[in-house]
């Protein structure tokens, strides 16, 4: 068992010793060098294609992409989203089912920033990626720097925030409602945050949701039923993704204004 700090290690050692002392088992702590196993495992990752979009680590960016290819470079790190998980691919596929050109994008739980960057690659005018995890936002900012062409073509911000408690004070968030809302979260988070997500979608806006499994789909769709219409539903493996359209007559009690 690998433990990150000496305090956690000592507590685990004490617990194991007490639990198995009567059985004659002993436990000892061993300090081992940090071999950066995460980096070594990620080094084997290769580019992933989803339709027109190619998500590639820096060492596998295509030399000669096709004229219609949208390439996004992502440095694998702690931020979720390299294109290798089904939910990311579902979101990337659904992004290509809408017209992103000129759109204002809000990406909740942005992780590596891959979805916000992909939307920019598909022509979005601006994108704001939000995550409460500082490590994820750090990774997203690193990936923004790896995609200078996208940074020149669109206004892209990544920031540490939780949209729910202070929706009007998120740095970089456009005062207008979003044209495209992206949320690759867990099923439980989507259900609990449905009203907040819908409140930030302009009338007729596209909402792309994923991160939930088949058995959670009914609850997720029910949570958004009051303010959206289902346009498309896709599945890959155990996971699902949906494309919704915000109703033009839906009441939004918490609009994004400053």
One domain for residues 126 and 21: no
One domain for residues 26 and 54: no
Please return the burial class of 144, using the count of CB atoms within 10 Å of its CB with bins 0-12, 13-18 and 19+: buried
Coil, strand or helix at 244: strand
One domain for residues 121 and 202: yes
Whole-prediction pTM value? 0.80
Q: Is residue 258 part of a domain?
A: no
pLDDT digits 0-9 by tens, 187-239: 999 999 999 899 999 999 999 999 999 999 999 999 999 999 999 999 999 99
Q: From the CB of residue 30, how many other CB atoms can be counted at a distance below 10 Å?
A: 5
The least confident of 24-28, 29-33, 113-117 is 29-33
One domain for residues 11 and 89: no
Place of tokens 């022509």: 123
One domain for residues 69 and 155: yes
The domain that holds 49 is classified in CATH as 3.40.50.150
Chain-centre distance for alpha carbon 156: 15
The answer to whether the CB of 90 falls within 8 A of the CB of 234 is yes
Angle, vertex CA 241, rays to CA 236 and CA 246, nearest 5: 165
One domain for residues 26 and 102: no
Q: Which domain does 142 fall in, by range?
A: 37-246
Q: Is residue 251 part of a domain?
A: no
The answer to whether the CB of 228 falls within 8 A of the CB of 243 is no
One domain for residues 191 and 70: yes
One domain for residues 110 and 227: yes
Higher pLDDT, 2 or 247: 247
pLDDT digits 0-9 by tens, 84-127: 999 999 999 999 999 999 999 999 999 999 999 999 999 999 99
Place of tokens 């949570």: 223
One domain for residues 131 and 15: no
One domain for residues 154 and 215: yes
pLDDT above 50 (res 167): no
* Average pLDDT score over residue span 137-153: 97
One domain for residues 92 and 155: yes
What is the spatial distance between Cα 109 and Cα 186, in angstroms, rounded to a whole number? 10
Return the closest-CA partner of residue 158 out of 167, 170, 149, 146: 170
Number of domains in the chain: 2
One domain for residues 14 and 138: no
């Amino acid at each position: 068992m690998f433990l990150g700090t000496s305090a956690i290690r000592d507590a685990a050692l004490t617990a194991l010793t007490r639990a198995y002392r009567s059985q004659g088992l002993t436990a000892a702590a061993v300090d081992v060098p940090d071999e950066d196993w995460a980096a070594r495992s990620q080094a084997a990752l290769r580019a992933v294609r989803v339709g027109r979009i190619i998500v590639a680590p820096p060492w596998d960016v295509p030399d000669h992409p096709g004229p219609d290819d949208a390439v996004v470079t992502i440095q694998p790190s702690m931020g979720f989203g390299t294109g290798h998980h089904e939910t990311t691919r579902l979101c990337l596929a659904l992004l290509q089912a809408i017209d992103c050109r000129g759109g204002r994008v809000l990406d909740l739980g942005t992780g590596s920033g891959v979805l916000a960057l992909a939307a920019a690659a598909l022509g979005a005018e601006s994108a704001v990626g939000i995550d409460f995890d500082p490590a994820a936002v750090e990774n997203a900012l690193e990936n923004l720097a790896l995609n200078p062409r996208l940074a020149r073509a669109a206004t892209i911000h990544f920031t540490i925030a939780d949209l729910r408690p202070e929706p009007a004070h998120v740095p970089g968030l456009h005062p207008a409602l979003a044209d495209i809302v992206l949320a690759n979260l867990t099923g439980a988070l989507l259900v609990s945050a449905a009203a907040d997500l819908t409140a930030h979608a302009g009338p007729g806006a596209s909402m792309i949701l994923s991160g939930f499994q088949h058995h959670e789909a009914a609850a997720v769709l029910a949570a958004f039923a009051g303010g959206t219409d289902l346009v498309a539903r896709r599945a890959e493996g155990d996971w699902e993704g949906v494309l919704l359209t915000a109703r033009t007559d839906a009441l939004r009690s918490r609009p994004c204004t400053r």
